[in-house]
Amino acid sequence: MTTSLAGTGNDAATMGAPIEKRPLERYVAPAKPSLVGLSRAALAEALGRIGVPERQRRMRVQQIWHWLYVRGVQDFDAMTTLSKELRAELDRHFTLARPEIVAEQVSVDGTRKWLLRLPGEAADRPHDVECVYIPETDRGTLCVSSQVGCTLNCSFCHTGTQRLVRNLTPGEIVGQVVLARDRLNDWQRAAAPAGTDPEKRLVSNVVLMGMGEPLYNFEAVRDALAVVADGDGLSLSKRRITLSSSGVVPNIVRAGAEIGSMLAISLHAVTDELRNELVPLNRKYPLRELLEACRNYPGLSNARRITFEYVMLKGVNDSLADARALVRLIKGIPAKINLIPFNPWPGTTYECSDWEQIEKFSEIVFDAGYASPVRTPRGRDILAACGQLKSATEKLSARERLALRAMAMTD
């Protein structure tokens, strides 16, 4: 099993709602597809289809790769190392399209949120996903979506209450990184000559913490991250890419072997009883199996730790006994614990823990030897914080959307 849901935990769903949802739509490729996000092999194949002789393909792929991912060009005509004829031929059959930005919001803290429009199975029913850029003093993190909606239905997560619509393609995932570089004018900084500090680039880190469960879209995420990490292209080291999962155990094992990024696990509870309620996938892959997979994740060390995410829910999972149980549970795993203040959304019955309680909880974790940063909610004014994605777009009126769209086009 990877993304197939045949014979899923729905069989075991005698205890409540189904664990997993099924995609409602397939991706339908446009007549003129984009080259953004193709692997080198797929790019070579695409060139073959338009008649580029086999002996030339490797070199052409290398050249196009450079234009796409080092120079960030958006037009075949700018690919000046290719002959005019080849550029025209490419233009006839392909595009360099990124996902379409329909709105851009900039928070007072500098966080930017892009609302992206992706094609739907029916041309008149496109889908929206969001992508968030979070600037910090020592890094700039891009929070990327992997699905329209989410396969799972964690009870505290707004995305989880929505229907799953479809998986993103590798092109749509890579496209988010590419469009962030476009919008932030980051290409020149990112391509700074050898010897200069590559961390001056604005997009220095990528986290798969947007909409969706990345490990239910395994192949696309794997292939996209290979492009993002490619040293001759976007060149983000795997240590700067973090994949966050709610615990799809078999695919955590695969991710260790086939992706090799950093791993974050949405833990949120220390007993199976509570986790079954918060993260229903736990009924399929209980804590013991999840922690075993974490323990065996390849390459862990003090410099390469697993991040355990823990959302702070008032009176639900935030007792000091929970904090002590948490450190016992992860004993022996090189880890840091990321405490996330719960971000409420319309209709939720959960509340965020009191600040004092979060501090006490954090102290216990810290005293046990774990870094336990409390994730400062970023971009709250534009509803870009964890678990708020998508709700924002539903809240915008048509008029607000139009205004934002106009803003995105003019600045």
Q: Quick one: which segment of 62-70, 74-82, 145-153, 314-322 binds ligand SF4 (CB under 6 A)?
A: 145-153
Nearer to ligand SAH, 35 or 174 (CB): 174
Q: With binding defined as CB under 6 A, does residue 146 bind ligand SF4?
A: no
For the CB of residue 169, give the shortest distance to ligand SF4 in the complex, in Å. 19
Mark 181-220 with x for binding to ligand SF4 (rule: CB under 6 A) and - for no binding.
-------------------------------xx-------
For the CB of residue 152, give the shortest distance to ligand SF4 in the complex, in Å. 4
Report DSSP letters for 64-96, one per residue. HHHHHHTS---SGGG-TTS-HHHHHHHHHH-B-
> Which residue has tokens 């749509």?
172
Q: With binding defined as CB under 6 A, does residue 307 bind ligand SAH?
A: no
From the list ligand SAH, ligand SF4, none, pick the one residue 339 interacts with, judged by a Cβ distance below 5 to 8 Å according to partner type: none
Amino acid at 222: R
Calpha distance 205→138 (Å, rounded): 10
From the list ligand SF4, ligand SAH, none, pick the one residue 309 interacts with, judged by a Cβ distance below 5 to 8 Å according to partner type: ligand SAH
Q: Is residue 253 classed as helix, strand or coil in its secondary structure?
A: helix
Q: Is residue 395 classed as helix, strand or coil in its secondary structure?
A: helix
Mark 232-261 with x for binding to ligand SAH (rule: CB under 6 A) and - for no binding.
------------xxx---------------
Nearer to ligand SAH, 46 or 386 (CB): 386
Calpha distance 146→340 (Å, rounded): 21
Amino acid at 33: P
Closest residue to ligand SF4 in the complex (CB) = 160
Q: What is the end-to-end Cα distance of the chain in Å, rounded?
A: 45
Q: With binding defined as CB under 6 A, does residue 386 bind ligand SAH?
A: yes
Out of 20, 104, 130, 172, pick the active-site residue: 130
With CA atoms as reference, report the closest residue to 8 among 16, 19, 277, 26. 19
309 annotated active-site: no
Q: Is residue 403 classed as helix, strand or coil in its secondary structure?
A: helix
Cα torsion 389, 390, 396, 399: sign: positive
- Among 276, 387, 390, 392, indicate the residue that binds ligand SAH (CB under 6 A): 387
Calpha distance 278→16 (Å, rounded): 12
Q: With binding defined as CB under 6 A, does residue 342 bind ligand SAH?
A: yes
Calpha distance 125→140 (Å, rounded): 33
Nearer to ligand SAH, 145 or 169 (CB): 145
For the CB of residue 253, give the shortest distance to ligand SF4 in the complex, in Å. 18
Q: With binding defined as CB under 6 A, does residue 266 bind ligand SF4?
A: yes
130 annotated active-site: yes
CB atoms within 10 A of CB 195: 6
Burial annotation 288-317 (CB, 10 A radius, 16+ → b, else e): eebbebbeebeebeeeebbbbbbbbbeebb
Calpha distance 3→22 (Å, rounded): 10
For the CB of residue 204, give the shortest distance to ligand SAH in the complex, in Å. 19
Calpha distance 69→178 (Å, rounded): 8
Q: With binding defined as CB under 6 A, does residue 203 bind ligand SAH?
A: no
β-strand partners of 143: 132, 207
Nearer to ligand SF4, 145 or 372 (CB): 145
Nearer to ligand SAH, 105 or 266 (CB): 266
**Which residues are designated catalytic?**
130, 386
Binding site for ligand SAH (CB under 6 A): 150, 154, 156-158, 209, 213, 244-246, 266, 309, 311, 340, 342-343, 345, 386-387
Binding site for ligand SF4 (CB under 6 A): 150, 152-154, 157, 159-160, 212-213, 246, 266
